[in-house]
Amino acid sequence: MVKHSKLLLLCLLFSSGIGLLMSSFLILTTKFSLAFSQQFTWWQQLLALGLGTLILMSCHQLDAQLPWSPATIITKWRQGQPLTLKHLGLNLLVAGLILSLGAGVAPGATVVSATITLSIWMAAKLRYFYFNYATLQQLPWHQRRLRLVNPQHYLWSFAKRPTTTFPQQWERRGLIGLGWLAGVSGFLWAQHQADLPNLLTSFGQSYWSWPQLWLIIPIIIGGYGLRELRHHWSLRPVTVTTTTLIGGALLIFSVARFAPHLLFSGQFGLPYLVQHGAQLTTTTLVSAALLKLLFLAACRYLGWGGGDLLPLVVSGACLGLALAQLCPNLDPLLLIAIISTSLAGALTANPLLAGVGVSLFCPFNLWPVIGLTIAGLLGVKHVLKSNAN
């Protein structure tokens, strides 16, 4: 009983630490992003991009796949490749530079990949504690503490066969659930303590009606049509080179000088879009959406990559507001929800994640619409996959 209680306490401490670390990463990148866009002069921006490019070049010489996506992390783990905290630090450094220096990508992929890496490390550390509990109890308290916080040693790999049985399945699930709650609590607490703009901006209230749901089908088809267009005109290089990194820095600097509203993932422009989007012309909204998509694709092509969910949501919001001006009888937030979910779901090939992301910005009464859009996206995805086979 004491052993299981200590295991639970260790799990809660590690999980809370992971949440605090991820929140601190977002706080630091957000503060530097605000300084880069609002306080830096043009020569300071150029100097920051130059230094950042040099660091990125050095990091890519160590690992050309940086920054790692969640899929890359999972693939490396399944193949048995080592995932140390050194790799995590390198990944966070590269992603932090990209996010802070104005690239039009989102931090979500970095946070998820880092959380997966830390969770794998935490699981190995908890297994070591469980299977070596008797040995640890014979050591002085300070030596036990040093072993449990050692980042590179005293880890119990999943490939090792234990001499005893790990906690039962229901105990493992409970441990995972409580750890998840502790991590989220630590993350939210740190975010609440930081005096920064809210990452989630509500789109407002919606007054949609059921007859308007016929829009879901043509918008979903349009989203997958855009996906096919991107597939035939791919903007993702096989490897990142010095030339692409320099080209990305020059692109970001040009955007910072002539179209600063396109910088970053769009989180800083959402409050303005929500408050004043209705006063913008249709041409301005459509142009902003297309330029945002092109900037996102160009950044990823030139090696300044990251997540794409939030930029797609912002582009979908612009297109939704533009369509609402052409069709004033339709609810604007309904259009935003359907277009953002369809656009993000089709282009990321993950309708469920896209729907969850969009729902965070929408009122509760739009969640059924988002659910129907997700179902439609999954249906079209299944049909396309069946035809491909």
Please list, in sequence order, all residues whose beta carbon lies within 8 angstroms of the beta carbon of residue 44, skipping any fewer than 6 positions away. none
d(CA 52, CA 259): 21
On the CB side of 273, how many CA atoms lie within 13 Å of its CA?
A: 31
- Which residue, 183, 179, 158, 306, is CA-closest to 240? 306
Q: What is the pLDDT of residue 182?
A: 86
CATH number of the CATH domain containing 306 = 1.10.3080.10
Tokens 């993350």 correspond to 187
Domain that holds residue 305: 210-388
d(CA 374, CA 376): 5
Q: Which of 166, 193, 220 is the last residue of a domain?
A: 193
Query: What is the per-residue pLDDT across 22-65, written as a single tens digit (0 to 9) for each?
Result: 989 999 998 899 899 899 999 999 999 999 999 999 998 888 78
Q: Is the dihedral of CA 239, 244, 245, 248 positive or negative?
A: negative
For residues 159 and 269, state if they share a domain: no
Supply 334's token pair.
């309904």
Kindly report the pTM of this predicted structure.
0.88
CB atoms within 10 A of CB 133: 15
For residues 89 and 215, state if they share a domain: no
d(CA 285, CA 291): 10
Residue 117 domain-assigned (yes or no): yes
Q: What is the pLDDT of residue 160?
A: 59
Residue 205 domain-assigned (yes or no): no
For residues 175 and 323, state if they share a domain: no
Q: Which of 167, 193, 219 is the last residue of a domain?
A: 193
For residues 232 and 182, state if they share a domain: no
Residue 335 domain-assigned (yes or no): yes
How big is the CA angle at 169 (ends 167 and 175), to the nearest 5 degrees? 70
Burial 301-326 (b: 16+ CB within 10 A, else e): bbbbbbbbbbbbbbbbbbbbbbbbee
Supply 217's token pair.
């089908």
- Number of domains making up the chain: 2
For residues 27 and 158, state if they share a domain: yes
For residues 270 and 325, state if they share a domain: yes
Q: Which of 193, 226, 247 is the last residue of a domain?
A: 193
- Identify the three-state secondary structure at position 106: strand
Q: What is the pLDDT of residue 121?
A: 87
Residue 143 domain-assigned (yes or no): yes
The torsion angles phi and psi of 7, rounded to 5 degrees, stand at: -60, -45
Residue 199 domain-assigned (yes or no): no
d(CA 162, CA 164): 5
Tokens 């502790």 correspond to 182
For residues 173 and 248, state if they share a domain: no
Residue 37 domain-assigned (yes or no): yes
CA separation (Å) from 143 to 135, 146, 148, 248? 11, 5, 9, 48
Residue 204 domain-assigned (yes or no): no
Residue 89 domain-assigned (yes or no): yes
Tens place of pLDDT per residue across the chain (389 aa): 678 788 888 889 999 999 999 989 999 998 899 899 899 999 999 999 999 999 999 998 888 788 888 888 888 877 777 777 788 888 999 999 999 999 999 888 888 889 988 988 888 888 888 888 888 888 888 888 888 888 888 887 766 555 555 566 666 677 777 788 888 888 777 777 766 656 666 777 888 888 888 888 999 988 888 887 776 665 555 578 889 999 999 999 999 999 998 998 887 777 778 778 778 899 999 999 999 999 999 998 898 988 888 999 999 999 999 999 998 888 999 999 999 999 999 988 899 999 998 998 888 999 999 999 999 999 988 887 777 66
The answer to whether 204 and 363 have CB atoms below 8 angstroms apart is yes
